[in-house]
A and B are shown apart, each in its own frame.
Chain A
Amino acid sequence: MNNTAIRVDRLGKRYCLGQIHSNLLSEKIGNGLRSFYDRIRSRNSSVLSSNGSRQKDFWALKDVSFEIEPGEVVGIIGRNGAGKSTLLKILSRVTEPTEGQVEMYGRVGSLLEVGTGFHPELTGRENIFLNGAILGMKKAEIRRKFDEIVVFAEVDKFIDTPVKRYSSGMYVRLAFAVAAHLEPEILVVDEVLAVGDAEFQKKCLGKMEEVGKEGRTVLFVSHNVDAVLRLCKSAILLKGGSVQIRGSSEQVTGVYLKEQVGVTSAKQWNICTAPVNAAVRLMEVYAHRSDGSPCDSFDVTEPVGITMKYDVLEPGHFLTPACNFYNDRGVNIFDSHDTSQECRTTRKSMGRYESTVWIPANFLSEGVVTVGAAIITPDPFLVHLHEKEVIAFNMADSLRKNSARGEYKGTMPGIIRPLLRWHTRARNQT
């Protein structure tokens, strides 16, 4: 047996931009005449660039290679236009690559959209069969799973109603339910989880997790970093049509998020560029684990350390290091500064200092946390330096059930996520 489920080898996809736009025969003829005219006028037609490829060509994917083992659940992330959808379309054979090849071992099911081919005039029952057939299920298979699908979609009362009368929620639930019961060995999924209400999303995530646990190979394409972190052990980051990084999902989403935010989890300055005033110069800020190792992505159940290194240039000040923490919606989660006895009562002498603040485990919520660093004097209040958005790191919940999530998998709002103690006692038991 081969130990690969999917092997992608130097895959490339070129689109001719001009070709897409001219859908009218008259335009096409016009363009043909124009390029013919151009060619007569000069041999070095401007239509061709030096390497022979037309300038209107656009490589949506270029030189993409990776391998995925059976049973692996891999997330593919990247910005819009990074090539995610193109890769997905090639893997699901909707479109053909321009170069390179893909080998897939096992029955492949792909979901680029939920409810593909749903017909509004048909009833729920009829659409289950139609959609199932379109997704590649056999009639007998659909019949066998029919009841299960109806229960999962929670539409049993309306199963003989045309789907055009469904609420959008019901429609999506039914559509996802059919898709969720597809049982391929390799599942290629687009962001189908971005549909439905929170309750249903939770159910979908649960189902996806189940699929992964059953040892099937899943390729999950998403913008939703939280979902990737929750579902996938490893991930691939696409950028500009190529693989930028392939690794553990924490690592990859960390890189992705920091690119989005534009800062990394460690910032170092040299003497010339460092923020400075007469009293102090900030040299370095970084986020790290409890063992001191720098890190981009933390589990919500581990403490996060932020260390600032700074040089005191003028002795005799009360210098207090401080940090601001912002979440990815720009909310100031909290600020903190050194309130220790020593810091409050000792004027700092010249030299290099290193201050670390520990954010306890089970405190920050999932998402990207952006950190601002400052050196202040608390009283009388004076800001010596204040660098906003120096570093950023990512908080993730790996669903080990020891976080404040417990068993819950859905969306958890709230800007912090403390793990609190609960007491429940039975009273007046019957």
Chain B
Amino acid sequence: MIVDNQKLQETYFGHKHKTVIKPSRSSMTLNLGEVWAYRELLSMLVWRDVSVRYKQSLVGIGWAIIQPLFTMIIFTIIFGRFAKLPSDGVPYPVFSFCALLPWNYFSRSLGGASDSLVSSANLITKVYFPRLILPLSRVFTGLVDFAISFLVLLAMMVWYRITPTIGLLLLPLLICIAMITALGIGLWLTALNVKYRDIAFVVPFITQFWMFASPVAYSTSIVPQKWQWLYGLNPMAGVIEGFRWALLGKTAPDFAMMLASFVGICVIFITGLIYFKRMERTFADVV
């Protein structure tokens, strides 16, 4: 949909402006400024998702701590004790929790973004706003849980007397990579999901498979040397290794590899954005 407007700010919240509605010919107008104009709606949706998630539960936001904590315990027992996977000299609980943090954020964001359009069908068919707001809100929502479990991780590090490295400053960047990866794939999946509900069945497989392809429970060091290059193409492998490096002082991830995978993910993200924009106009009719 093409909307002519002199000033985006004025368009939605100002006075006397002109709106033109006509069939859009080109799919290349991304109109990202419009998303900015609707930032208040974005923040409201994030706030809604966060506050609704733990409503009417006894433990409330505590679940954001309990969930990764229990996963960590199970991982520690199964992979750390029984399978005796190497944890590169770090206590296995911290080793796995440190990876679960970005991983949980990523998998939840990916799931949320893929589901975002279909689960908001009632909004899409009744109100206009840039549809991009919906998957975006989901990847932001995950940040809240991430922040809470991050505090737990810090507590664990104090308990195990581990001092983070200066690489800590790169964490926001690493989380950004996880966010763009989740959003890029999420954009494709959510737009496809509008038309083909098959996607809803595919997403859990993707995340499960992806988790085993990422160094969540194990260390990258157990991956055979000749497959390391392929492994490095997984952006989440870079992110998780980056977390361990920054917080636990492990060996640094291969930054050249990370750059390569990041370029790949940018391609997925941009094509996803274009595909999303192209499909956007039919969402309300098809969903």
A-side interface residues toward B, CB under 8 Å? Answer: 15, 19-20, 23-26, 28, 89-108, 110, 112-113, 116-117, 119, 121-122, 126, 129-130, 133-136, 138-139, 162, 185
A107 near B124 (CB under 8 angstroms)?
no
Which one of B44, B281, B282 has the highest number of Cβ atoms from chain A below 10 Å of its Cβ? B44
Q: A20-B286, A134-B41 are in contact. Are A96 and B18 (CB under 8 A)?
A: no
B1-35 vs A, CB cutoff 8 Å, 1 = contact: the mask equals 10100000000111111111111100000000000
Provide 12 A-B residue pairs closer than 8 Å at the C-beta atoms, listed in order of the A residue: A89-B125, A89-B284, A91-B21, A93-B3, A94-B127, A95-B284, A100-B22, A102-B20, A121-B55, A122-B51, A136-B12, A185-B16
Q: Whole-angstrom distance between the alpha carbons of A94 and B128 in the complex?
A: 5
B284 near A134 (CB under 8 angstroms)?
no
B196 near A94 (CB under 8 angstroms)?
no
Q: Closest CB-CB distance, A62 to chain B, in whole Å?
A: 14
- List residues of chain B with CB within 8 A of the CB of A95: 281, 284-285
B14 near A25 (CB under 8 angstroms)?
no
B127 near A121 (CB under 8 angstroms)?
no
B18 near A121 (CB under 8 angstroms)?
no
Residue B56 interfacial (CB < 8 Å): yes
Q: A94-B124, A95-B285, A130-B44 are in contact. Are A103 and B18 (CB under 8 A)?
A: yes
B127 near A107 (CB under 8 angstroms)?
no
- List residues of chain A with CB within 8 A of the CB of B286: 19-20, 23
A24 near B128 (CB under 8 angstroms)?
no
Q: Closest CB-CB distance, A20 to chain B, in whole Å?
A: 7
* Partner pick for A103 among B20, B23, B129, B282, CB 8 A cutoff: B20
Residue B254 interfacial (CB < 8 Å): no
Residue B250 interfacial (CB < 8 Å): no
Smallest CB gap from A2: residue in B: B18
Q: Closest CB-CB distance, B134 to chain A, in whole Å?
A: 11
B197 near A116 (CB under 8 angstroms)?
no
* Partner pick for B198 among A25, A108, A110, A121, CB 8 A cutoff: A25
Q: Closest CB-CB distance, B154 to chain A, in whole Å?
A: 31
B16 near A102 (CB under 8 angstroms)?
no
A121 near B284 (CB under 8 angstroms)?
no
Q: Closest CB-CB distance, A326 to chain B, in whole Å?
A: 39
Q: Whole-angstrom distance between the alpha carbons of A138 and B43 in the complex?
A: 12
A106 near B16 (CB under 8 angstroms)?
yes
Q: Whole-angstrom distance between the alpha carbons of A184 and B156 in the complex?
A: 53
Q: Closest CB-CB distance, A144 to chain B, in whole Å?
A: 13
- List residues of chain B with CB within 8 A of the CB of A26: 198
Q: Whole-angstrom distance between the alpha carbons of A59 and B161 in the complex?
A: 70
* Partner pick for B14 among A28, A107, A113, CB 8 A cutoff: A107
B126 near A133 (CB under 8 angstroms)?
no
* Partner pick for B19 among A96, A104, A129, CB 8 A cutoff: A104
* Partner pick for A102 among B22, B24, B127, B282, CB 8 A cutoff: B22
Q: Whole-angstrom distance between the alpha carbons of A162 and B51 in the complex?
A: 12
Nearest first, the 10 closest Cβ-Cβ pairs linking A and B are A101-B22, A93-B128, A133-B44, A96-B281, A102-B21, A121-B55, A25-B196, A95-B284, A104-B19, A116-B126
A92 near B127 (CB under 8 angstroms)?
yes
- List residues of chain A with CB within 8 A of the CB of B256: none
- List residues of chain A with CB within 8 A of the CB of B48: 119, 122, 126, 130
- List residues of chain B with CB within 8 A of the CB of A20: 285-286
* Partner pick for A99 among B15, B23, B129, CB 8 A cutoff: B23
Q: Closest CB-CB distance, B49 to chain A, in whole Å?
A: 9
* Partner pick for A134 among B14, B19, B52, B129, CB 8 A cutoff: B129
A116 near B122 (CB under 8 angstroms)?
yes
B18 near A105 (CB under 8 angstroms)?
yes
Residue B195 interfacial (CB < 8 Å): yes
B15 near A107 (CB under 8 angstroms)?
yes
Q: Closest CB-CB distance, B91 to chain A, in whole Å?
A: 39
Q: Closest CB-CB distance, B164 to chain A, in whole Å?
A: 37
A24 near B197 (CB under 8 angstroms)?
yes
B20 near A101 (CB under 8 angstroms)?
yes
Q: Closest CB-CB distance, A194 to chain B, in whole Å?
A: 16
- List residues of chain A with CB within 8 A of the CB of B122: 116-117
Q: Whole-angstrom distance between the alpha carbons of A110 and B282 in the complex?
A: 19
Smallest CB gap from A94: residue in B: B284
Q: Whole-angstrom distance between the alpha carbons of A23 and B193 in the complex?
A: 9
Q: Which of B78-137 contact A (CB under 8 A)?
A: 122-129
A133 near B41 (CB under 8 angstroms)?
yes
Q: Whole-angstrom distance between the alpha carbons of A89 and B282 in the complex?
A: 12
- List residues of chain B with CB within 8 A of the CB of A117: 122-123, 127
